[in-house]
Amino acid sequence: MRNVAVAGIGQTKFGEHWDKSIRDLIVEAGNSAINDASIERNEIDSLFIGCMSSGRYTGQEHLGALAADNLRLGHIPATRFEGACASGSLALRNAYINVASGRSDVAIVLGVEKMTDVAGDEAITSLAAAGDQEWEAAIGLTFAGLYALMARKHMHDYGTTREQMALVSVNNHHNGFNNKYAQFQTKITVDDVLKSSMVADPLRLLDCSPITDGAAALVLMSADKARAVENPVWMIGTGQGSDTIALHDRASYTEIMATKVAAREALTDARIEMNNIDVLEVHDCFSINEIIALEDLGFCAKGDGGRFVENGEISLSGSIPTNTSGGLKAGGHPVGATGVRQAIDIVRQLRGDAFNKVNAQKGLTLNIGGSGATAVINVFSTEGK
């Protein structure tokens, strides 16, 4: 397998884009990544795009061809990937495998979601389709509801407190403040979280990621092609795992097995250990999920995630800076774009142009689909393997 470089990155601002269509977002992010990579369009030989639900949100499907057409990339193979909120990371993983295997030399990876063209309740109903339609969504269980069940169980079993969950949001809003692409560039306090409106007990508004429009893109290249790229960042590993589509079928409500399976594969592929990772972008769709992610990835013991956060370990000066760009909470969560955006923020850290710089040589993204039925981990480094 060949070494794979990240040669260029680009994204739109995340937020409400009522003046732009889904194709406008794709073109803006795609062009920005192509410019950043300083390549000609005819060098790109494959396109991978992640999107969860463009049909329900905008009426537009067939995004692979639409993206290749509107980015003027000619007749290259162009494919869409769907794994709920993990769609973007799935597209990136498959592009990486194609470039590493020699099937593609230069691939463009995109992620997109345009969620605000429909009313809020319709957006939430569409998201619920990532769960079990017959046993969860049909009886009114939303994603906030599912993660509220996980939060309650975590509080019950491990003594995790409301304040500890709130600190996840406080950290991520603190980091999002300097990120010009973030949906919310506002700092918040624990008190703000605890006083925000109830969404699904115990989760409140400021525990939740928002509904967002946005797109993100990056260009992957084989090591040969990347010779001209100054100080490239390398993608060195990928892993993917699955679990039951319905939460109630799982052995545990407080761990996500798909994450553990994905982590094993990704670390083996990258030929490193988890303690080699210096910076994380994890899936904080709800504050409890960041706590569970830190435990499942092994940065703290099962049940200790709340205390780990309370001790400041995830802050910019902590032992494992996490969601240094603001995460999904402050940055926004256009679901199909999120995994690509997470990768971009790790690349920014590794090449030294992050909004909140930390000292990092290796970084990892964890992108979760549904309540944990899909997990994808991608790993990046300042050095190839």
**Mind telling me the catalytic residues?**
85, 333
Can you tell me the distance from the alpha carbon of 36 to that of 330, in angstroms, rounded to the nearest whole number? 25
Angle at 161 between CA 159 and CA 165, to 5 degrees: 130
Task: Write the binding mask 170 to 189 for ligand COA: x where contact by CB under 6 A, - elsewhere.
Answer: --------------x-----
Q: Which of 63, 71, 144, 168 binds ligand COA (CB under 6 A)?
A: 144
For the bound state, the minimum distance from the C-beta of residue 6 to ligand COA, rounded and expressed in Å, comes to 26
- Which is nearer to ligand COA, 123 or 219 (by Cβ)? 123
* Angle subtended at Cα 244 by Cα 240 and Cα 250, rounded to the nearest 5 degrees: 115
Q: Give min distance, CB of 287 to ligand COA, in A.
A: 11
| CA–CA gap between residue 60 and residue 35 (Å, rounded) | 26
Number of alpha helices (DSSP H) and beta strands (DSSP E) in the chain = 13, 11
- Interaction between residue 285 and ligand COA (CB under 6 A): yes
Query: Could you tell me the smallest distance in angstroms from the CB atom of residue 344 to ligand COA?
Result: 19
For residue 333, state whether it binds ligand COA (rule: CB under 6 A). yes
Smallest separation (angstroms) from ligand COA to the CB of 51: 14
Buried (b) or exposed (e) across 8-36, using 16+ Cβ within 10 A? Answer: bbbbbbbbbbeebebbbbbbbbbbbbbeb
Q: Which stretch binds ligand COA (CB under 6 A): 98-106, 120-128, 133-141, 315-323?
A: 120-128
Q: Is 216 in the site for ligand COA (CB under 6 A)?
A: no
Instruction: By CB under 6 A, name the one of 124, 190, 194, 274 that touches ligand COA.
Output: 124
Rg (CA), the chain: 19
In whole angstroms, the minimum distance from the beta carbon of 310 to ligand COA comes to 21
Residue 143, both tokens? 């994603």
Task: Give whichever of 162 and 362 is closer to ligand COA, judged by the CB atom.
Answer: 162
Nearer to ligand COA, 46 or 240 (CB): 240
- Choose one: 21-29, 208-216, 271-279, 315-323; the region binding ligand COA (CB under 6 A): 208-216
Nearer to ligand COA, 210 or 239 (CB): 210
Strands (E), the chain: 4-11, 46-50, 78-81, 106-114, 198-200, 203-204, 213-222, 233-242, 279-281, 362-369, 374-381
* CB nearer ligand COA, residue 125 or residue 319: 125
- The values of phi and psi at residue 121, to 5°, are -70, -30
What's the distance, CA 173 to chain centroid? 16
Work out whether 120 is an interface residue with ligand COA (CB under 6 A). Answer: yes
Beta bridge partners of 177: none
Residue 323 in tokens: 């969601």
- Among candidate residues 168, 180, 167, the one with its CA nearest the CA of residue 15: 180
Closest to ligand COA by CB, 130 vs 297, is: 130
- When asked if residue 165 is in the footprint of ligand COA (CB under 6 A), the reply is no
Asked whether the CA dihedral 352, 381, 377, 55 is positive or negative, the reply is positive
State the amino acid at position 101 in one-letter form: S
The least distance separating ligand COA from the CB of residue 375, rounded to whole angstroms, comes to: 12
46 to 105, contacts with ligand COA by CB under 6 A?
Answer: 85
Q: How many C-beta atoms surround the C-beta of residue 361 within 10 A?
A: 14
Residues that bind ligand COA (CB under 6 A): 85, 120, 124, 127, 143-144, 184, 199, 205-206, 208-211, 285, 333
